Chain A
């Protein structure tokens, strides 16, 4: 009989089922061993995938390779300047940076009132209502780096607003609630912002996890900000996004050294030009979740291995118990390879069945976790799925391990001569 025919033969399975059925309890316990291994593997890798997706979602509103650059007091004297001077970023720095650091994709100079101490927030008045809100002077590029969701009907600041220094503003959803009555028209209305009237062009939706920004922030064109608050060429900080394929740590270094050159800061001064590199932190988190995935694969495979060894062990005992039966079969004309095939198929069948049950169980648990965590925004866990390739790999692993481990009892079964096997009582 050729081997392929044996696998698809009804009788082969009849033989296998009847010998498996003979020892129900033992079979079930063995199956649970492998089932558990596959279950751990699926649940762990699904969970780490969910964590990975969760982090992705957490950062979806900001470019993953972005950074903020600002200035602080110098810590070293340089070129005649003494320690403690605070260099000022200028709007012209943006052009220089774009030219000298080719990896920069977007650069958005920003100014603000109400954050980082110093200047007070702006007072907004509309009819009889008023409030104090943080105010930002922005370029349209800012939305390329950090997504701003604008409610339908509105828009963010555009280049014409900048060119004409229009008195337009984007307000937050909280501001809207505080200054307007429910259902009232907002877009196109005017508010008084520190005694200057501004037309509202959009309302932004607040997104949690966006750093220091709040649901009451007001965005106005950078040039308008400059005119009202008399900031001249000064820039509060730069928000910069590098190209996707660039090394954010290198980009940050290049930007800092360029700025040090422009502003006569000692190249060794670590304090004067400061920055927060989201990309670097994001890479660390990504590295962490990659590590988790690797760990889950290693733990999973190790557990599967333990389970499969259990199956091998049980089959060894089973072969020992069935010595006589196997001897009878051989006296009746079973060839050694037929006996071997039967035992290997038993092993593969047991591992495969338990593997499939493990995958189903793991899938159910992942589904349960997903349902339980869907509404929790603060928990970075989204869509815990296992790639099909992982499942196929797992099945392949258990089939090959099942075959390999089955070889041991199979070899044992045919190593005993039929005559000795028959003599055994």
Chain B
């Protein structure tokens, strides 16, 4: 699904340049649930941003579903993100003056889908994630776990090829963290490829594969026995 070859990325800071990714080779197959781990500054967020087409690579190749992603301008990147990728952020990033169902239907709006259909699809995902009764609530009226589930519904509503989660449990307590991870596991079990960036060991252990980054290179890449969470939502 995702194939990275010899990926390099550096940032200019004043006159000096900071080499963040120093040749990443990674092959992610369809249906994988992969945790990207590393301490801060290891380059894990940069990697996720490049995969998420929020940032451009300097050298190397990036293939998504056998299509090489290159020569991206903003408009093209926006279309790709909308079509192929779903984002889940640490701080949820819900739009605070839109209610749950409006937030979830927003990506469909940018696909040019009609209002009725948007509403239906958004409601379907909210109900699927147990938020049917909360569809008319503003983000400020939801708990952290509910907010993150709305955010996941928003990421899933376009039926993307890959779900990218940047510290999805970073702002949640351990109980709600488990609920969210349970949801992610369920989505993965239905066949979706998911990347989770985290620095928490127990969260990583709920994935099927762990990739550890240190100073811009992959230091460890192992398949693990997934720690399945019992559904208690």
Interface of A with B (CB < 8 Å)?
A: 1, 10-11, 15, 18-19, 21-22, 324-325, 327-338, 414, 417-419, 422, 425
Contact of B110 among A18, A327, A334, A419 (CB under 8 A): A334
Task: Count contacts between A and B, CB distance < 8 Å.
Answer: 66
In the complex, which range does the number of interface residues on chain B fall in? 20 to 34
Which residue of A has the minimal Cβ distance to B83? A333
Contact of A331 among B52, B83, B109 (CB under 8 A): B52
Which residue of A has the minimal Cβ distance to B87? A331
* Interchain CA distance A76-B123 in the complex, whole Å: 104
* Interchain CA distance A328-B139 in the complex, whole Å: 15
A418 in contact with B111 given A328-B95, A331-B81, A332-B82 (CB within 8 Å): no
**Are A333 and B111 interface neighbours, CB within 8 A?**
yes
A328 in contact with B49 given A334-B110, A335-B75, A338-B110 (CB within 8 Å): no
**Are A328 and B78 interface neighbours, CB within 8 A?**
no
**Are B107 and A333 interface neighbours, CB within 8 A?**
yes
Interfacial chain B residues near A414, Cβ < 8 Å: 74
* Interchain CA distance A335-B55 in the complex, whole Å: 15
Interfacial chain A residues near B112, Cβ < 8 Å: 1
Which residue of A has the minimal Cβ distance to B95? A325
Interfacial chain A residues near B107, Cβ < 8 Å: 332-333
Interfacial chain A residues near B109, Cβ < 8 Å: 11, 15
Q: Determine whether B59 belongs to the interface, using a CB cutoff of 8 Å to chain A.
A: no
Q: Determine whether B19 belongs to the interface, using a CB cutoff of 8 Å to chain A.
A: no
Extra A-B contacts (20), CB below 8 Å, given A11-B115, A330-B74, A422-B93:
A10-B115, A15-B109, A18-B98, A21-B97, A325-B96, A328-B95, A329-B95, A331-B54, A331-B93, A332-B82, A332-B154, A333-B81, A333-B158, A334-B110, A335-B110, A336-B74, A336-B78, A419-B49, A419-B55, A425-B91
**Are B79 and A335 interface neighbours, CB within 8 A?**
yes
* Interchain CA distance A10-B119 in the complex, whole Å: 14
Interfacial chain B residues near A417, Cβ < 8 Å: 54-55
Interfacial chain A residues near B91, Cβ < 8 Å: 425
**Are B74 and A422 interface neighbours, CB within 8 A?**
no
* Interchain CA distance A414-B158 in the complex, whole Å: 23
Interfacial chain A residues near B115, Cβ < 8 Å: 10-11
Interfacial chain A residues near B97, Cβ < 8 Å: 18-19, 21-22
* Interchain CA distance A244-B232 in the complex, whole Å: 96
Q: How far is the CB of A334 from chain B (nearest CB, A)?
A: 5
* Interchain CA distance A337-B110 in the complex, whole Å: 12
* Interchain CA distance A358-B126 in the complex, whole Å: 45
